[in-house]
Chains A and B, each alone.
Chain A
Amino acid sequence: MTAGHGVGIGWRPEISGFVAGLPGLRFVEVVAESLPPTGPAPAALADLRARDVAVVPHGVRLSLGGAEPVDPARVAHLAHAAAVVDAPLVSEHIAFVRAGDVEAGHLLPLPRSREAVAAVVANVRRTQAELPVPIALEPIAAIFDWPDDELTEAQFITEILDRTGALLLLDIANVYANARNRGTDPVDLLDRLPLDRVAYVHVAGGAEHAGVYHDTHTDPIPAEVLDLIGELCARHRPPALLLERDGNYPAGDVLRAELDAIAAASGYPTVT
């Protein structure tokens, strides 16, 4: 991403009309697996491209952290998605979503081990070889950790980025969730990450269940997450920040207020 993309929103079919009505919008993200494997992009996304709104395909099922090699068909789909929306980049997660043929149905954490770094690096390189654009990698929110971590979170992420040349998609709500659940300082992680490698930032809401904070994408953004945007931008302002909402969609006014709050916290112009 380049400077000037500012505040964006995850495009979803359910809020397509709302997104189309945002006058200052410069970029959106679309779930890559929701795009057709062949043929053109949906008309609503083509309309956004015609307004010169950047569209970033965001993969959720590639399983870059799987011990097995990534599925070439899934990589080809991501590459096709990038081509049909003329994307500046694509993004995926530092996570695994299946083992063998069994689907977990969710992004699962990796052990922060050298073995896992090697698995991710090999899969990112296989993917990069087929992609027409750069890839940004997103660390996830983890409800539990593996018992035998060798590296800190910052070391784990930085080593993967260094060995692949990939960009960082930093999810500030995940930073908040992990720190809250592990009892660590989220600002300390910001100080240890290569913030100059951030392509863009995810922002989302969450809620506490059974004493654990969940990054749900279906609840309001906590004030603490907006404060962390301020801490991040005071260190290194990312080129763009994007609101993720994945269900339980509120009224348009509520979504507009969240977009405005992200703009205020980051100092970017409002898009509403």
Chain B
Amino acid sequence: MTAGPEHPGAGPAPAAPHPPGPPPGDLAARQAELVAALVTGAPVPPGFDERLVGIARTALLRKRAGDVARHWPLLAAGLGADWPATFAGFAATRPTRGSLRDGWDLARDLHAAGRLTGPARDELAAREATWHYRGADAPRPRRLPALRRGDGTVVIQFAGRVHTLTLPGTAARPGR
């Protein structure tokens, strides 16, 4: 077969029954529709098997949860068995911005809701002390020393090195 954009002189193709679904020739728009269905919760495009696309969406969230847990081990460990569902609830309608930023955005949300405790809060404090991250752009290293509160701790970053100090008068956490 020689049909296609590389053979513009091939002449009109013989009439053929149209396949179901949107017409061909708009691959970019159709790919965008499919990605939106998978990562932003948009409707499944016509013609696709809704059950199978739903299974793919779930598998994608499971894979993303594993990738984020590798970047944010204490965040994931702190949530234990609730980690996959917590991450999925956060990520189901948000396209990934990379595992580092996805975990960071979730940690900030949980912190704002008062749900971040123990080593997971120290993990976030250490990142906040080391990097500038305003949410809209990729994080970049801080050039100046910084200090952030953890959970009964204070995290100090100086010349790129991070030190975690337990605050006086705070009961030592078990397991530390």
List B residues 34-50 near A (Cβ within 8 Å): 34-36, 38-40, 46-49
Question: Is A143's CB under 8 angstroms from B39's CB?
Answer: no
Contacts of A148 in B (CB 8 A): 19-21, 24, 47
- 8 A Cβ contacts from B1-52 to A: 1, 3-6, 19-21, 24-25, 27-28, 30-32, 34-36, 38-40, 46-49, 52
Known: A103-B96, A104-B35, A114-B3. 14 other contacts (CB 8 A): A67-B27, A98-B35, A99-B28, A99-B35, A100-B32, A102-B39, A105-B39, A106-B59, A106-B60, A111-B27, A113-B24, A118-B4, A146-B48, A210-B58
Whether A212 sits at the interface, judged by CB under 8 Å, is yes
What per-residue 1/0 map shows which CB atoms of B60-100 lie under 8 Å from chain A?
A: 10011010001000000000000000000000000111000
Q: How many residues of B contact A (CB 8 A)?
A: 39
Contact A104 B38 (CB under 8 A): yes
Separation in Å of the B39 CB from the closest CB of chain A? 6
Report if B56 contacts A (CB, 8 A).
Answer: yes
* Distance between Cα atoms of A214 and B64 in the complex (Å): 15
Binding site for B on A (CB under 8 A): 66-68, 96, 98-100, 102-106, 108, 111, 113-119, 143-148, 150, 209-210, 212, 214, 218, 247
Chain B minimum-CB-distance residue to A63: B31
**B162 within 8 Å of A (CB atoms):** no
B25: chain A residues at CB < 8 Å are 115
A104→B25 CA distance, assembly (Å): 22
Chain A residues within an 8 Å CB radius of B58: 209-210
Question: Nearest 5 CB-CB pairs, A to B?
Answer: A147-B47, A67-B28, A144-B52, A99-B32, A148-B19
- Which residues of chain B come closer than 8 Å to A115, judged between CB atoms? 4, 24-25, 27
The closest CB in chain A to the CB of B6 belongs to A118
Q: Which of A68, A106, A117 lies in contact with B4, CB distance below 8 A? A: A117
List the B residue with the shortest CB-CB distance to A247.
B66
CA distance A123 to B98 in the complex (A): 24
- Contact A96–B60 (Cβ < 8 Å): no
B165 in the interface (beta carbon within 8 A): no
The residue from B21, B24, B48, B60 contacting A105, defined by CB atoms under 8 A apart: B60
Q: Is the CB of A209 within 8 A of B55?
A: yes
Task: Please judge, given known A-B contacts A67-B28, A99-B28, A144-B52, whether A118 and B5 are in contact too, CB under 8 Å.
Answer: yes
Verify if B147 is at the interface (C-beta below 8 Å from A).
Answer: no
A143 contacts B59, C-beta separation under 8 Å: yes
Q: Chain B nearest CB: distance from A190 CB in Å? A: 24
User: Would you call B53 and A105 a contact (CB within 8 A)?
Assistant: no
Which residues of the other chain, B, contact A147 by a CB distance below 8 angstroms?
Answer: 19-21, 46-48
Question: Given known contacts A102-B36, A105-B63, is B95 in contact with A67 (CB within 8 Å)?
Answer: no
Q: Report the Cα distance A49→B31, complex, angstroms.
A: 39
Point out the residues of chain A lying under 8 angstroms from B5, CB to CB. Answer: 118
Given A147-B47, A147-B48, A148-B47, the answer on whether A102 and B53 have CB atoms closer than 8 Å is no
**Cβ contacts under 8 Å, B39 to chain A:** 102-105
Query: By the criterion CB–CB under 8 Å, are B55 and A108 in contact?
Result: no
Q: Would A210 and B31 be within 8 Å (CB), given that A113-B24, A148-B47 are in contact? A: no
A106:B63 contact, CB within 8 angstroms: yes
**B residues less than 8 Å from A106 (CB atoms):** 38, 56, 59-60, 63
Please report the C-alpha to C-alpha distance between residue A119 and residue B24 in the assembled complex, in whole angstroms: 13
Question: Judging by beta carbons under 8 Å apart, are B31 and A66 in contact?
Answer: yes
Is B20 a contact partner of A143 (Cβ separation < 8 A)? no
Q: Are A67 and B31 in contact (CB under 8 A)?
A: yes
Provide the bound-state CA to CA distance between A144 and B47, in Å.
11
**Can you offer 28 A-B residue contacts whose CB atoms are under 8 A?**
A67-B31, A96-B31, A98-B35, A99-B28, A99-B36, A104-B39, A104-B95, A105-B39, A105-B60, A105-B63, A105-B64, A106-B38, A108-B35, A111-B27, A115-B27, A143-B56, A143-B59, A144-B49, A144-B53, A145-B49, A147-B19, A147-B21, A147-B47, A148-B20, A150-B19, A209-B58, A212-B52, A212-B55
